Amino acid sequence: MKQITFEVCVDTITGAMDAVRNGADRLELCDALGIGGATPSAGLMQRAAKLGVPIYAMIRPRGGDFIFNFEDMDVMLHDIDTCRKYGMAGIVIGATHENGALDIAKLARLIEQADGMGVTLHRAFDVTPDTSEALEQAIDLGIERILTSGQRETAIEGVLKIKSVIDEAAGRISIMPCSKINPSNVESLFKLISVSEIHSSCRTLVGSPYTENAPSMAPGDDFSRHITDPKKVKALADYLYNLSQ
């Protein structure tokens, strides 16, 4: 079986380094994974570019929905230029109309700005009212892959929808499962689908010394944060490697 590409989504340089050291084949670089990801800083791009693996940068100017106005588009176009400057292999984008359908005109403009860089369609796909239509639109736009949880909160919950999209795509575009894929459930996922790449953040919530020194501050306070867990990355990387043997 062909080796499955393992993409890890990270939002810090430490997370990026830990992911690469423990078996990530590619990184999706973001800011603020707690809101689903936003465009990473130029500094993070510059530093991560030295790690020796392909990096796709999220292009998303804010959290919330994927309905972007002219000003948002202007920001994203300039951010794509920054991605090129710092050697990103590609970008991760998504834009929709108010009804959730893909905004083809805006996506085409972002892809034009990328000028040959790779393109992933993010989970904007999961809010589309007609995934068959969105799939064909993504293919027509020349997008490399679609990131999806099968329109459910997790890939495990949406696995049957993911399988349906994979079957419909018929190899014309890569379908990359995502959302809470971890060492404890990845085997169950692969019993139902066959893919060439998967995506995971491999996150673990950690507390802060601030909290430890102030017991009155409850867990989940503003100082706790998620980190890329090296053990989870390695466990998933090892599973995927063994699967390919």
Q: What is the dihedral of CA 16, 18, 19, 25, to 10 degrees?
A: 90
The pLDDT value recorded for residue 176 is: 98
Cα separation, 170 vs 159, whole angstroms: 17
All domains of the chain, ordered by start, with CATH?
5-244 (3.20.20.380)
Q: What is the pTM for the complete model shown? A: 0.94
Residue-level pLDDT, tens digit, the chain, 245 residues: 578 999 999 999 999 999 999 999 999 999 999 888 999 999 999 999 999 999 999 999 999 999 999 999 999 999 999 999 999 999 999 999 999 999 999 999 999 999 999 999 999 999 999 999 999 999 999 999 999 999 999 999 999 999 999 999 999 999 999 999 999 999 999 999 999 999 999 999 887 777 666 655 555 567 778 899 999 999 999 999 998 87
